[in-house]
Structure 1
């Protein structure tokens, strides 16, 4: 049995939870039962939408050290052997205290060494900046690094990516919360230009988005705008899209799996490395950090869309590069390695 410690809320969004759900669903496919351990009622309300057992610690999602005793008690009571943790609020003390009691797997960026981590998963395209192979040289920690370990949900497994001759659908996705209402500002900029009337804009947002009323009004006023809230068919929307405009994060790897030429940007620090790497390899077009320069970036996004609309060869080149990055087998590989850990624990 695999236990997963993760949270989702308005502040951190749902990205961590979604990638953990991808691992959990694949684990179920391979006959491994999964239970989620969460901090509070907010994550619990989100988890209701998914068919997994949960254990609520009634703790603080952004202060994991304060939950150590509670989590150790849960580990003991449930005889937990395998625990996957996905949170940016982990500390060396947390790893040490929890790692003494369980086989510990960490999913995410980590820029320091901990002997208490049994398996480290960092699927990001910039993982090399952490120099893990030297950091963990000759240590017991199993390293699962690079985009071959991107954990994609089941809906991305059997898709058939394609590049079309013309552009008629543009996908806009800005993360689970979109604090700055970037989606609304982008689409408002586009619809004010009459030359975009032949384009359908599909906007994907999470249920935690604070700007749903604004986006709903835009949808009602414009026939070429469609709003999708917490949709279960993101892969289908991506496949039918000719261009995507997306914030950084795990969504960029989903877009790679679908081969959608993408213009990306960052609005939090932990998205910067990824978009820089995608830009450096000419896999995606990046307009950089949008914070404090929204007007400039939205204008750049519009300009880049015009370039992509009018150049099939560029879109085809981006498609090919994206397809070489993500092969849609990451979740399977992760669970296989976890199974091996379980056999040894």
Structure 2
């Protein structure tokens, strides 16, 4: 087989953790699947414990190598110590780390959330609302490919596939009979249990679905509470997330990538900001009319009951239409195509 016919070898460097959550790995899995569909060979390098927090990583079939630090990690033995590209999705990595990675891969790609770091990369994706190339002036090398805005969010293909059906259902029968609570697999601070308690008291007749990871601190108590309640469902380590989100009339979630999953399907959101990097997206969704927003977890007890009791079918219909305009769910396809194109080009030199 000629060298040109060999599949591109792409190493994904991403972690999950109790405070970090699993969103970085989940969006990388979506992008990895799109790259694999285009013929690439994919492996992950993750900090110990990442697969325990995100079981979907183990189920993916991709090799999972050990990462000891941002730029110190193993490669699959069959790759001979070299990759064609490294995709970095870390808050802890630095420009120096990315430069070190060039010793084993000529192309470096980065997934970023906020334009406040300098990178040595050939491609950068940032799903932030209203993000502009000027935001990365002097923060990436000249000639680096920039893929910016919500339509560059790497999501699993099921979201785009179910988009039309989900939007049609909401247009036909707006109303609030089913609530989804999905605060992330790690359920930071056990916030899911707090939300469920407030929601069940505010809307006692509604059906509630709660999505959690297997190590979520809220899980034991919620499982016990759901034992004798046919309208209360606990879903652990969900493999068909798009279908679960589509079933909801309103979703309560954080302001990360899952918020844009809901937008693709036109699901109105009540967004709770769990970390500062989520605040710009949450505010943008609220300003666009796609979501209601609670600024901090500490505001839950006062804000959530009133919001739930006063949301109306016309408001849900308006939020659904606004949400659907924000993201179409095809970001993984766009990034995968651009990354494979960069692999075929010479690398971008680092800034002086």
TM-score, normalisation: structure 1: 0.87
Instruction: Report the 3-state secondary structure (helix = DSSP H, G, I; strand = E; otherwise coil) of the residue aligned with 1:204.
Output: strand
Q: Indicate whether 1:177 and 2:206 are aligned.
A: no
Given that 1:126 and 1:273 are in contact with CA atoms closer than 8 Å, whether structure 2 keeps it comes out as: no
Change (3 A) 1:7 1:112: closer
Q: Indicate whether 1:285 and 2:295 are aligned.
A: no
Match of 2:135 in 1: 132
Higher relative CO (Cα under 8 Å, sequence separation at least 6) belongs to 2
Which whole-Å CA distance do the structure 2 matches of 1:319 and 1:223 have between them? Answer: 27
Given that 2:198 and 2:304 are in contact with CA atoms closer than 8 Å, whether structure 1 keeps it comes out as: no
Specify every segment of 5 or more residues in structure 2 that has no aligned partner in the other structure, as ranges: 1-8, 347-352
Which whole-Å CA distance do the structure 2 matches of 1:221 and 1:179 have between them? Answer: 26
Which whole-Å CA distance do the structure 2 matches of 1:77 and 1:298 have between them? Answer: 55
Instruction: Report the 3-state secondary structure (helix = DSSP H, G, I; strand = E; otherwise coil) of the residue aligned with 2:325.
Output: helix
Match of 2:197 in 1: 188
Which whole-Å CA distance do the structure 1 matches of 2:287 and 2:149 have between them? Answer: 16
Structure 1 residue 192 displacement after superposition:
3.0
Match of 1:344 in 2: 345
Which whole-Å CA distance do the structure 2 matches of 1:98 and 1:72 have between them? Answer: 12
Q: Indicate whether 1:43 and 2:44 are aligned.
A: no
Matches within 5 A, 1:198-277: 198-277=205-284
Instruction: Report the 3-state secondary structure (helix = DSSP H, G, I; strand = E; otherwise coil) of the residue aligned with 1:54.
Output: strand
Specify every segment of 5 or more residues in structure 1 that has no aligned partner in the other structure, as ranges: none
Which whole-Å CA distance do the structure 1 matches of 2:42 and 2:75 have between them? Answer: 18
Given that 1:75 and 1:101 are in contact with CA atoms closer than 8 Å, whether structure 2 keeps it comes out as: no
- Quick one: which of 86, 94, 97 aligns to 2:97? 94
Aligned residues: 327
Which whole-Å CA distance do the structure 1 matches of 2:317 and 2:44 have between them? Answer: 40
Match of 1:319 in 2: 320
Deviation track 1:282-312 (CA, whole Å, cap 9, x = no partner) reads 221101122xx2xx4233122112222xx22
Which whole-Å CA distance do the structure 2 matches of 1:189 and 1:222 have between them? Answer: 16
Match of 2:81 in 1: 78
Change (3 A) 1:158 1:76: closer
Q: Indicate whether 1:107 and 2:111 are aligned.
A: yes
Match of 1:24 in 2: 32
Deviation track 1:287-342 (CA, whole Å, cap 9, x = no partner) reads 1122xx2xx4233122112222xx22221221111111111211111111011011
Which whole-Å CA distance do the structure 2 matches of 1:99 and 1:279 have between them? Answer: 40
Instruction: Report the 3-state secondary structure (helix = DSSP H, G, I; strand = E; otherwise coil) of the residue aligned with 2:188.
Output: coil
